[in-house]
């Protein structure tokens, strides 16, 4: 076994941007595993193969089938298992998405492979693969060593910076017929129902402002939206506002919600429970606004404002609006 295989998940024919974080892992570690870097793209009517071919991989394997159009674990698992049996990679790198994480676990069983989820660091040694990952809700880091190959890795969101496409080489494109035997498809996948939303995607936004239970109700989220619009960002929430129905669960950030990695994260009236911080710890800059100076979030924040959000946010919004006007 040698080389690294990257799984490029697709959505409506386009490659998920998380693929470029996997590319960084592949580029860093492939010299130690035989200098073979390959990617597999699975979907239907895929339009992103040219993008994948500029990842620096030696080959890009394209498996297309109508049953791969949706994130159907049974179908994607069957196809990827066949590819892995053929290529015999030393390492398989999966995205940290609902589909990627489920396939990783089931693929590990089928291949008899070691698995590390939420890898923060990776190091190939003579003894195998050493990785660190957060445990107990992110309170501590555990060190894990995988010995028997192949190794399956799911990197933590933004633990590895997204790679840039290459301009000097294109990978060879290899079309493969996905193996999807009827006996392997034990569940039924209905078409996705997509929730319409305006503004940047929460998981891809570079600026996010989120509110917690301390806002007192759903109305203040409109003020958060005004600020987000001025900054070209998105609005999120901690779990309690979602649980009581102030905002939809699609806005939830945290261990049981979305994992984000923006350049700037502004947390308003959020106490900073470890379950929430697990979902936003990859943000480059965290600004906390809270009236409680002992709130746990101040231990994680880059900058902190101790004050009532009702006084801080309107002034903050007006300052940003004035800056926007001046730039025009």
For residue 51, what is the domain's CATH number?
3.40.50.620
CATH no. for residue 275? 3.40.50.1220
Question: Are residues 171 and 58 part of one domain?
Answer: yes
Q: Does 231 share its domain with 131?
A: no
Q: Which residue has the tokens 């800059």?
A: 285
Report how far apart, in Å, the C-alpha atoms of 247 and of each of 23, 189, 221 are: 35, 28, 8
pLDDT of residue 197: 63
> Do 220 and 253 fall into the same domain?
yes
For residue 16, the SS3 value is: coil
Domain with 124, as residue range(s), is 4-184
276 by DSSP, 3-state: which?
helix
Report the pLDDT averaged over residues 263-268: 96
- 196 part of a folded domain: no
pLDDT, averaged across the chain: 91
The predicted structure's pLDDT at residue 201: 83
Distance CA 129, CA 136 (A): 22
Assess whether 26 and 119 both reside in one domain: yes
Q: Are residues 13 and 149 in the same domain?
A: yes
The one-character DSSP state at 258 is: B
Sole residue written with tokens 């998105």:
234
* pLDDT attached to residue 196: 66
Least confident window among 24-33, 131-140, 306-315: 131-140
Structure-token match 């078409």, residue found:
191
Q: Is residue 180 part of a domain?
A: yes
Residue 230 maps to a domain? yes
Determine the pLDDT at residue 22: 96
Does the pLDDT of residue 92 top 90, yes or no? Answer: yes
pLDDT score recorded for residue 121:
94
86 and 173 housed in the same domain: yes
Averaged pLDDT for residues 273-284? 87
Whether residue 286 is predicted with pLDDT greater than 90 in this model: the reply is yes
Task: Quote the number of domains for the chain.
Answer: 2
- Give the total residue count for the chain: 328
Cβ contact 129:122 at 8 Å: yes
Q: What is the mean pLDDT of residues 139-145?
A: 88
Cα dihedral value 224, 227, 231, 233, nearest 10? 20
The predicted pLDDT at position 200 comes to: 78
Q: How far apart (Å, rounded) are the C-alpha atoms in residues 54 and 157?
A: 22
* Region of poorest pLDDT, from 80-94, 185-199, 205-219, 222-236: 185-199
List pLDDT tens digits, range 33-79.
Answer: 988 999 999 999 998 788 899 998 999 999 999 999 999 999 999 99
**E-only strand ranges, the chain:** 4-8, 10-11, 14-15, 37-43, 59-64, 91-93, 114-119, 121-125, 128-135, 140-146, 151-155, 172-176, 207-211, 234-237, 264-268, 285-290, 303-306
Residue at 194 is within a domain:
no
Instruction: Tell whether 240 and 148 lie within a shared domain.
Output: no
Q: Last residue of a domain, which of 149, 184, 219? A: 184
Are 247 and 241 within 8 A, CB to CB?
yes
Q: Shortest CA distance to 2 belongs to which of 100, 176, 107, 124?
A: 124
Within 10 angstroms of residue 93's Cβ, the number of other Cβ atoms is 29
Q: Specify the pLDDT at position 11.
A: 87
Q: Is the pLDDT of residue 258 over 90?
A: no
> Same domain, yes or no, for 164 and 42?
yes
Which of 310, 286, 308 has the alpha carbon at shortest distance from 220? 310
The mean pLDDT of 127-149, rounded to a whole number, is 87
Q: Is residue 191 a part of any domain in this protein?
A: no
Cα–Cα distance measured from residue 328 to residue 324, given in angstroms and rounded to the nearest whole number: 7
- The whole-model pTM stands at 0.81
What mean pLDDT is predicted for residues 146-152?
Answer: 92
State the sign of the Cα–Cα–Cα–Cα dihedral 24, 28, 30, 33.
negative
Question: Same domain, yes or no, for 132 and 236?
Answer: no
Lowest mean pLDDT among 52-61, 180-189, 220-229, 311-320: 180-189
Q: Which residue has the higher pLDDT, 51 or 306?
A: 306
3-state SS, residue 253: strand
pLDDT in tens, 150-185: 999 999 887 898 898 887 778 999 999 988 988 889
Residue 199 has pLDDT above 80, yes or no: no
């Amino acid at each position: 076994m040698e080389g690294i295989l990257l799984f490029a998940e697709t959505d409506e024919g386009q490659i998920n941007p998380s693929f470029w974080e996997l590319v960084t892992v592949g580029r860093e570690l492939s010299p130690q595993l035989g200098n073979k870097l390959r990617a597999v793209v699975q979907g239907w009517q895929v339009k992103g193969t040219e993008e994948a071919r500029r990842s620096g991989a030696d080959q890009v394997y394209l498996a297309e089938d109508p049953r791969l159009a949706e994130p159907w674990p049974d179908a994607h698992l069957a196809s990827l298992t066949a590819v892995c049996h053929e290529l015999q990679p030393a390492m398989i790198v999966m995205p940290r998405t609902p589909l990627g994480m489920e396939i990783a676990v089931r693929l590990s069983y089928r291949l008899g492979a070691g698995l590390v989820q939420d890898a923060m660091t990776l190091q190939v040694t003579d003894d195998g693969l050493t990785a660190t990952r957060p445990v107990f809700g992110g309170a501590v880091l555990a060190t894990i060593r995988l010995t028997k190959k192949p190794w399956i890795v799911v990197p933590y969101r933004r633990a590895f910076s997204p790679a840039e496409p290459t301009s000097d080489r294109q990978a060879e494109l290899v079309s493969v017929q996905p193996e999807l035997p009827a006996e392997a498809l034990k569940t039924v996948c209905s078409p996705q129902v997509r929730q319409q939303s305006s503004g940047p995607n929460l998981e891809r936004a570079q600026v996010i402002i989120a509110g917690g239970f301390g806002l007192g109700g759903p109305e203040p989220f409109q003020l958060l939206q005004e600020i987000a619009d001025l900054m070209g960002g998105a609005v999120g929430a901690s779990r309690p506002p979602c649980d009581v129905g102030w905002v939809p669960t699609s806005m939830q950030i945290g261990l049981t919600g979305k994992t984000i990695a923006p350049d700037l994260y502004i947390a308003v009236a959020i106490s900073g429970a470890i379950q929430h911080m697990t979902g936003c710890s990859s943000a480059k800059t965290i600004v906390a606004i809270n009236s409680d100076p002992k709130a746990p979030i101040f231990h994680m924040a880059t900058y902190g404002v101790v004050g009532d959000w009702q006084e801080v946010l309107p002034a903050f919004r007006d300052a940003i609006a004035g800056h926007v006007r001046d730039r025009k």
